[in-house]
Amino acid sequence: MSDEVSEGPEEGAPVQEPRLWQGNGWTARVIKNEDDEGWAVAMIKDGEPEPALVGPWTMGRDKKNPKPLDTAAFNTLVKTASEVLRRHEQQLHSQLHKSTVVAIDGAVIKVTLDIVPDDDHPYALLAAIDEMGEQLAQVRVAPTFKLTSTSAASWIEAGFRAPR
């Protein structure tokens, strides 16, 4: 027989309590809804300080306490929270990476604008790529540069000099 006393769940083991579940890189925590009498559930991705998703949570049969978390509910919450993060990442990517295509002198040139959101010194990189995927030019521009087919054509026609 062992003299060791168990101090609770094994380190690294998934937590599966009525108001707290952890697994698949996520934590679901049922919390009191500050705005009303109900309950909410917060989904927090491991390593993140803020919840990716906070939503209403169902009352239990006593109409006073929250319904306990279970495997099906947790898996649904993980799927929903992951989708919210994916959409957020797509939106951020579309804000930071733009492109247009222009035809000049019979050549089709793709022009990209990649914004680097540095806290102290944000900037953007304007690049021209030919039909073979070869980079023709790249210059640093203000992060507020507006990429349009007109501004891209003007940059190309100016010999790829940095726009002012």
pLDDT digits (tens, 9 = 90+) for 133-155: 999 999 999 999 999 999 999 99
- pLDDT tens figures, 46-65: 999 999 999 999 988 888 88
Instruction: Name the strand (E) or helix (H) holding 22.
Output: strand 20-23
Ranges assigned E (strand) in 117-156: 123-129, 135-141
Query: Per-residue confidence at 13, pLDDT binned at 50, 70, 90?
Result: low
Count other Cβ atoms within 10 Å, centred on residue 53: 19
